[in-house]
Amino acid sequence: MPVAKLVALFRSIAAGGRRMHPVAGDVLQHFMDGGGAPRTMPSRWLRSFEVIRKAERKNRRRFERQLAREARRLEDGASTWLNDHWDARINAFIGTELFYVSRMSQLRSQGSFVLTRSGPRVRLSGTVRHHWFDPYDWDRGRWVFIPKHGFVPIAVGRELVEADEARNFLMESRHVQTLEGTCVDGRWPRRGRAEFEWVSVKTEDR
């Protein structure tokens, strides 16, 4: 298909898609007109999808297990810092708007915590900065399904980039959560217990 017709096709997809999937339509328009500039996605929109929240919970549970292990090793009266990160892969469900924006993406959760022991009790607190990101490109896979247009070969998107009619770009979003918790030692044969409370820090979506 000639490049001029591809440009017209993609612009019609972006315009028509806004009625059903406004965010997907906007990012496709940005692919055509954004000049490759990064795009910040609204965290509220992203976290409305269960697959995103599931990845977030997965990384939080990893931190909780890691903190519980660190608490057991801490001597009475001592304090320690823990800094680490966890990555979770995300595969969007077919048919959701997230799928049309980002089929496969990644959530990196960077955590910083302080733990202090007093007798059998360890108190901990910290902050986790979640960073979701995905390059918006047409380089992965062979076909993509677009409503009302059917399956479109990935190659047509690459042709637009090669013809300098579109630019790949990075999509990303960040949000922050705080953690307060307590780990209490148990006496054999009873196991210890741990309690964690996560709170999202309100930020203005862009």
Domain definitions of the chain by residue range: 3-200
Strand 39-40 relative to strand 169-184: parallel, antiparallel, unpaired? Answer: parallel
pLDDT means per 10 residues in the chain (206 residues)? 80 78 91 91 96 98 96 95 97 90 94 97 98 86 64 77 92 97 81 92 67
What is the pLDDT, as a whole number, of residue 13?
Answer: 78
- β partners of residue 87: 108
Query: Letter for the amino acid at 117?
Result: R
Instruction: Reduce the DSSP state of residue 86 to 3 states and report it.
Output: strand
Q: What are phi and psi of 119, to 5 degrees?
A: 65, -130
pLDDT of residue 1: 67
- The two tokens of residue 97 are 């708007």
53 vs 56: CA distance, rounded Å: 5
Residue linked to tokens 């995905």: 134
State how far the Cα of 53 lies from the Cα of 61, in Å rounded to an integer: 12
Q: H helices then E strands: how many in the chain?
A: 6, 8
Confidence at residue 7, expressed as pLDDT on a 0 to 100 scale: 86
What token pair was written down for 162? 């090669």
Tell whether pTM > 0.75: yes
- In the prediction, which pLDDT does 206 show? 47
Closest to 161 measured CA to CA, from 1, 5, 7? 7
Six token digits for residue 39? 């795009």
